[in-house]
A and B are shown apart, each in its own frame.
Chain A
Amino acid sequence: MTFRRRRIPVVPESERDEARQQIARLQAEILRLRRALDALPIGVVLADRSGETLVENVAARTYHGHAAVLVNEAVERHLRRAINGVASGHNVEFIGPPRTVLAVQATPLEDGGALVTVDDVSERARLDAIRTDFVANISHELKTPVGALAVLAEALAEIDDPAATRRLADKMVGEAHRAARTIDDLLELSRTELGGAAAKDVVSVAQVVDDAVERARAAAEQHTIIVTVDNGPGDLHVIGSHRQLVSAVANLLENAVKYSDTGSSVLVESRRDNGCVEIVVTDTGVGIPARDIDRIFERFYRVDRARSRDTGGTGLGLSIVRHVATNHGGEVTVHSREGEGSVFTMRLPAGES
């Protein structure tokens, strides 16, 4: 075999520069598009007609452990169908906690490849559930006492016996108070929701805790529950409204007392942690089922609706707590295990002492 010398055409320097610049421009363009894809909250997987993955953005790779395996499985399954020209998808659910719903959707592309998106729709699913339940729950809370009042009043109108009249009237007063409590709490909640942290006072945390304990004293004594306070060394302060904060901590305490066994104890602590103040209410009561734990701060949400009348309360206490915490630039979190108890932690930004 002989080699014939081929003449390589000489490209002028100016054209070569231009080509280099063009390559650089295209590379910058690709980089920009990749960065844009990585900035998307939605997972994106792009594949060619043989099923080979061309692009996979950051959000498509955020899953760990068995979730990653199951997400990949769904992506590959729908990818295959899309490459065959059929758009397909379904929701992949993980029970968590936190409960996660991922919408996996594959679309065929003109060049024979396919695009798969993985969209986290958990929040949407959660809001849907809240909206549906809210109407059912609020009508339950408001209609029950009103219905009871109507029935009691009808009975009252037909009875002459003074003792029975007395008994019915007492019951009516009880139901009326119940409705009034619900309405008071609703007003309190909308005040906190609308007003924000109206007050910008320097509030002593120890004072808040003491006042809240005072408010919960009657309930605690009724169940012979000992409330222990530990405010730690030194004075802690936060900026905000004393009244709102007392109401929040008292709500947490009343819950702790309500769901504890007779004779047990409840602990309230306040402490400083990294520029924040934590107020922690710990009980050793019945605890909260895992499936309810994400929802207990919703308005009128009840873990056990059948028993809500025995335990009293309006179903708004924890919503109020959450709103007060948010108004003060903080948050409230909960850890709980059924049969072992619950720990509610309110974290607020510390004010200067």
Chain B
Amino acid sequence: MDELRKGFHNDLDEARAELVRLAASVTEAIPRATAVLLDGDLEGADYMIQGDDEIDARSLDLEERCYRILALQAPVASDLRQVVALLKMIADVERSADLVCNICKAARRIYGHDLDPKLRGIISRMGEQAQQLYTAAIESFVENDAAKAAAIDDMDSYLDDLQKQFVQAIFESHAAGRIDLQVAVQLAVVARFYERIGDHAVNVGERVRFVITGWLPEHHGAQRYRLRADDTGEMPRIGTVQDGDGTP
């Protein structure tokens, strides 16, 4: 390998390693946020919220580094896929860290309210599942394992189920008068945060598959939209549906 390429691969390896470190921080932050929420730990919440600034700063640095690689090295083929995927993954990891932060903020808002054991149990399950998704996402990335990356999607459906169960349990708890409306709404939002973290892990997994195989997730919606195009290649406009002109 000539000197120039060696430099490129060092840069790329270092960028990959930094993404893994950021994702590892998020993986550890998920159960911590769950503990903050369940224990009503205000001090811990502040600590976590402040810690997010570091992740933001490091994500920006890493993004900058990727742009520099693109501009100076002009990578092609799988190397290009690596850098493009990294850029996308940085956004996912950074956003997940924000969501973890949001869980801590919600912990502050529901501070002092007792939750049913059932609600607490499902929260701890959602936290564990979100962490497992993230662990699998990093592992698939580090090991370049497309099969493991593909499995993350299935793991995510369990997290989605938990979120549905949790919303049901919130209704029950609220109906029984054990939590007020404000807490109920906050909790519903918390469930959404966990569910979103899971979705970001799924995105990371999809990017890993893209890097390894060049496969892109089937963009169902986009495909449907294209199929609806008429012979002239004209896309039907949303407004025309209401005219009742037979558009599905």
Q: List residues of A whose CB falls within 8 A of some B CB.
A: 65-67, 69-70, 73, 94-96, 286-287, 289-291, 337-340
Contact = CB atoms under 8 A, between A and B. Distances in A.
A338 B138 contact: no
8 contacts: A65-B27, A66-B25, A66-B27, A69-B24, A95-B35, A287-B121, A338-B121, A339-B122
Contacts of B186: none
B31 interface: yes
Interface in B134-177: 134-135, 138-139
Main secondary structure of the interface of B (DSSP, over half): helix
Contacts of A94: 28
Contact of B35 (A73, A286, A291, A339): A291
B239 interface: no
A290 B124 contact: yes
A250 B28 CA distance: 39
Interface stretch (B83-91, B112-120, B193-201, B215-223): B112-120
Given A65-B139, A95-B31, A337 B24 contact: no
A65 B122 contact: no
A12 B209 CA distance: 64
Nearest to B138: A66
Contacts of A337: 121, 124-125
Contacts, number: 60
Nearest to A286: B117
Contacts of B122: 339
B120 A338 contact: yes
Instruction: Name the 6 nearest CB pairs between A and B, nearest first.
Output: A339-B121, A339-B118, A339-B117, A69-B24, A66-B24, A66-B27
B116 A339 contact: yes
B81 interface: no
Given A65-B135, A290-B38, A339-B119, A70 B25 contact: yes
A340 B121 contact: yes
Contacts of B188: none
Contacts of B24: 65-67, 69-70, 73
Contacts of B27: 65-66
Contacts of B178: none
Contacts of A339: 116-122
B20 interface: yes
